Structure 1
Amino acid sequence: IGAGSFGRVFLARRRSDGKLFAVKVVDISAMDGKSRAETKNEVDVLKMLSHPNVVRYHEAALARGGGGSGGSGGRGGYGKPRELRIVMEYVSRGDLGERVKEIAKMRGNNGRNVPGSGVTCGGGGSLTEDEVMSYFTQIALALRHLHRKGILHRDLKLANVFVNEGEDGQDVVKLGDFGISKVLASQTGFCNTVVGTPYYLSPEMCMGRRYDAKSDVWALGCVLYELCNDGAHAFEGKSLPALVMNILKGRFTPLSRARFGRDVRELQTSLLALEPGRRPSVDDALRSPAARACLTRLATRGASATRARGDDGGVVADAEPGCSPGSSLREEARRVLEELGTPATAPEARPS
């Protein structure tokens, strides 16, 4: 169901109950030291996380090879292991970038192209403000979980956010791809290594300065912009230096006043503040009127979303303190609202 530089992802069915899983088969024999470290890092980070909006890790094992065919001998015979097989939650609706294009295509278009998508879409194919904020708020909840664990994602983008079908039929966001995530010694720690996708690099990363969770917040602002604009990047450039210059100067086209209310526009602008200290934390972003209203909708909607489950089909037993085992998205939204001092009430009317 997917392929990359060093491996493929297979859809697997558990014989005992028919449950579907995604199995990432990575050819570690072809990797250099850096790539091996990133693969190990992804497994280590996944083991630390348990949240309704994070792709659920189940187990990992080394194998001697066989290219995913299921044979125990394969290319490696009885020698050194050649493959790492990571068993994860299967997400049925692909990544969020593709999901946005799919929705836009289904709804029609007004002749504006999404760069590089091959799909024409625009006003008629755009996500509604409520849909944008539902995706954004769920991503923010996942990022909050990471930051509370002292983890920086460092490669937040639509292609690394996946979408599952909830028990109520609505989209449930799942943050994934933790290959270059960084576990800090403390929640106030900093990083120095420049990593990630250029379109989402924060100004401090572009300048080679130390950075912290506020760089993830910058990327979150880029993601919000793309959700509002059918996948178009906030920052563009004909070359990498031109792109970096636009990032450093904060040059992006403001969100449409006709399509988005003041609360969403102000939230997006605050996330892309050039100075890290002027950007909100993820908690502050979730306290914003637009996100708070969405959290309230998530906390009060009729059916719970997908539940994180363990290998035995039961709820997970290793959720972080404060995040109840097997908590649904609805339960998580309620808990976060209480922690932020804004308990669930009827959604507020959005100013124009």
Structure 2
Amino acid sequence: MASEVKAGDLLEGRYRILDTLGAGGMGTVYLAEHNLIKRRVAIKILHPELAIDANVVERFMNEARAAGTLGHPNIVESTDMGFTHEHVPYIVFEHLEGTLLTDEIYRVGGFSVRRSLWIAQQIASALHAAHNAGVIHRDLKSDNVFLTDRDEMLDHVKVLDFGISRFSQLSESDHKMVMGTPEYLAPEAITRPEAIDGRADIYALGVILYEMLAARRPFPSQDGDPKALLHRIVHDTPEPLNVPELPPALHDILFGKLLAKDPDERFPTMIEVESALDKFVTEKPTPMRRNRPQKTIDPFSVRPGTRTPVPVPVAARRRSWMPYGIAIGGVVIGLIGLIIGLTREPPATPCDCGDPKANVRSSH
């Protein structure tokens, strides 16, 4: 097995490893410095044991291609890529300082309508650029949105982790998989994963907007049962929002045009999402400096002393802020029986038989 990179190592004569920022299921992220120009960067190196899996390497390269070619101010920038001396691929990203959107939402207990709209518009702009380039993110979530400062402006968005993005046609194996993070999955991503398009990202943006306003997700994972969660996403209606300042028309857009079960009822494109949200923006946020800590935090520890009025969901506690997502981040669920079961209405009485499809149908 290939050895791990360590502080002091020099990658291809260009990047000096300074420190480890964190690790996840797909790779390890390091703080590094260009050996000549002394610019600090974040380097994501695929786990050596995964470098022999062609499908994993392809998804890793997807992230580099998306971040390196889209060229949008709200998408994390990839500036280089290469291979370690043991032929393990790595991606070089801009080094960001700030916080994950997830952490900020639950730190302050939800955002104002104005702040939520400002962030949602930037996400929509980033995904509009991606969709125009034929890229569907497929794992858009608050854990893959980073808030930083730019030109004195608070909450400049960077969309992260295009690791499972789709550039063209799905592979044969992908046709059989539900890919993404369950709480943000569009219903059709569960029932018809082969048919998803950019409207699945529009649904996920609706989940993020709901989450920013309510400090909870439309369908939170309550008991760790993915079958029950996916069943609720397909069949149930999200809890109404209790946000007095939310304009009724914006409420209707959120529930009727972003979180609609039927993709045909959603906005067809992200540019239309941007335009619809812009009608509710009376002014841009006032330029100001972020007044929260921006130091590196152990990504696998509970952060003592953090003001958290609302409990952070389990998924959000997995890591603190990073330059971008470390792992594929999503859950890949290859259960064809589960998908079939979710397309049917549950029976009136639960079935306690051993058929997994029946169990899914009765999980509601």
Give TM class, smaller chain: 0.5 to 0.7
TM-score normalised per structure 1: 0.67
* Residues 76-135 of structure 1: CA deviation (Å, up to 9, x unaligned): xxxx41x32211111201321122233x1xxxxxxxxxxxxxxxxxxxx43111111111
Query: What does residue 148 of structure 1 align with?
Result: 132
Q: Is the Cα contact below 8 Å between 2:211 and 2:218 reproduced in 1? A: yes
Query: What does residue 326 of structure 2 align with?
Result: none
Q: Is the Cα contact below 8 Å between 2:62 and 2:165 reproduced in 1? A: yes
The 3 A distance-change label for structure 1 pair 273 and 30 is closer
Q: Could you tell me which of 88, 92, 97 is aligned with 1:92? A: 97
User: Higher relative CO (CA 8 A, sep ≥ 6), structure 1 or 2?
Assistant: 2
Query: What does residue 250 of structure 2 align with?
Result: 264
Equivalent residue letter for 2:203: W
C-alpha deviation, 1:257, in angstroms: 4.2
Matched, 1:171 2:155: yes
Q: How does 1:183-198 map to 2 (within 5 A)?
A: 183-184=167-168, 193-198=177-182
CA distance in 2, matches of 1:302, 1:100: 20
C-alpha deviation, 1:246, in angstroms: 1.3
Query: What does residue 130 of structure 1 align with?
Result: 114
Q: How does 1:18-37 map to 2 (within 5 A)?
A: 18-31=38-51, 32-37=53-58
Query: What does residue 232 of structure 2 align with?
Result: 246
Q: How does 1:1-352 map to 2 (within 5 A)?
A: 1-14=21-34, 18-31=38-51, 32-64=53-85, 80-81=86-87, 83-102=88-107, 104=108, 125-184=109-168, 193-208=177-192, 210-230=195-215, 232-237=216-221, 238=223, 239-269=225-255, 270-280=257-267, 281-288=269-276, 290-294=277-281, 297-298=283-284
Q: Is the Cα contact below 8 Å between 2:31 and 2:43 reproduced in 1? A: yes
Equivalent residue letter for 1:219: A
Q: Is the Cα contact below 8 Å between 1:28 and 1:36 reproduced in 2? A: no
C-alpha deviation, 1:18, in angstroms: 4.7
Q: Is the Cα contact below 8 Å between 2:210 and 2:218 reproduced in 1? A: yes
Query: What does residue 307 of structure 1 align with?
Result: none
* Residues 163-195 of structure 1: CA deviation (Å, up to 9, x unaligned): 22111141210011011100137xxxx977531
CA distance in 1, matches of 2:24, 2:89: 14
Of the structure 1 ranges 256-265 and 141-150, higher mean CA displacement relative to structure 2 is found in 256-265
The 3 A distance-change label for structure 1 pair 6 and 282 is closer
Number of residue equivalences? 259
C-alpha deviation, 1:302, in angstroms: 6.7
CA distance in 1, matches of 2:66, 2:136: 10
CA distance in 2, matches of 1:259, 1:302: 23
The 3 A distance-change label for structure 1 pair 20 and 267 is farther
The 3 A distance-change label for structure 1 pair 62 and 256 is same
CA distance in 1, matches of 2:89, 2:122: 30
Other structure's SS at 1:21 match: strand
C-alpha deviation, 1:30, in angstroms: 3.6
TM-score normalised per structure 2: 0.65
C-alpha deviation, 1:162, in angstroms: 1.3
CA distance in 1, matches of 2:65, 2:202: 23
Equivalent residue letter for 2:207: C
RMSD: 2.6
C-alpha deviation, 1:154, in angstroms: 0.4
Equivalent residue letter for 1:287: S
Equivalent residue letter for 1:39: F
